[in-house]
Amino acid sequence: MGKLTRFGVSLEGGLLRKFDAFIGAAGYSNRSKAIADLICKEFVADVFKKGGRVAGAVTMVYDHHRREVVSRLPDIQHDHGGIIISAQHVHLDHDNCLEIIAVKGPAAEVKELADSLKSVKGVKHTTLSVTSAGKPR
Ligand code: NI
């Protein structure tokens, strides 16, 4: 972490009260960490939008009885082997599987992987969560 720098921020009172309630509910004990996290969130979103390198996870739930899922999911993951770090498979219940795929690479390819996986018949829900691929700030 670099040297801390103090700066003043002026906000309308109502907005500040809402912000304090928001960060309190989110578990922050002070404004500085909350503001830093919000700034980093915007930076990561900007990196993703501009096609930079990101790291993250594709999380999905699917019915393993569906034939297309069983054949397509491994094919898609092999096609994107260059950005997949690891995959974890959990048998949720008799029908459903949870798969968490850790990824690192160009935003466009990460998005393409997530989009390909979620479009397979039998995949019930998919999320893509990304963060910085390296230096957080
Ligand atoms: Ni399973």
CATH code of the domain in which 72 resides: 3.30.70.1150
Domain that holds residue 114: 53-132
Per-residue pLDDT reduced to its tens digit, 58-69: 999 999 999 899
Per-residue pLDDT reduced to its tens digit, 45-54: 999 999 999 9
Q: Which residues pair with 98 in a beta bridge?
A: 61, 90
Q: What is the model's pLDDT at position 93?
A: 97
Residue 8 lies in a domain: no
At residue 102, the 3 state secondary structure works out as: strand
52 CA from centroid of ligand 1 (Å): 33
Number of domains in the chain: 2
Per-residue pLDDT reduced to its tens digit, 7-32: 999 999 999 999 999 999 999 999 99
Q: Which residues pair with 61 in a beta bridge?
A: 98, 125
Do residue 83 and residue 19 come from a single domain?
A: no
Q: What is the model's pLDDT at position 2?
A: 81
CA 37 to mean position of chain CA atoms = 15
Do residue 41 and residue 58 come from a single domain?
A: no
Residue 28 lies in a domain: yes
Do residue 120 and residue 76 come from a single domain?
A: yes
Q: Using the structure block, give the residue that is written with the tokens 């990101």.
A: 54
16 CA from centroid of ligand 1 (Å): 47
Q: What percent of the chain stands above pLDDT 70?
A: 97
Q: What percent of the chain stands above pLDDT 90?
A: 91
Torsion angle of the four alpha carbons 75, 78, 83, 84, in this order, in degrees rounded to the nearest 10: 90
Ion ligand 1 contact residues with beta carbon within 5 A: 91, 97
Q: What is the model's pLDDT at position 137?
A: 46
Do residue 115 and residue 81 come from a single domain?
A: yes
Q: What is the model's pLDDT at position 1?
A: 67
What does pTM read for this prediction?
Answer: 0.83
83 CA from centroid of ligand 1 (Å): 23
CA 95 to mean position of chain CA atoms = 26
Q: Evaluate if residue 98 carries a pLDDT over 50.
A: yes
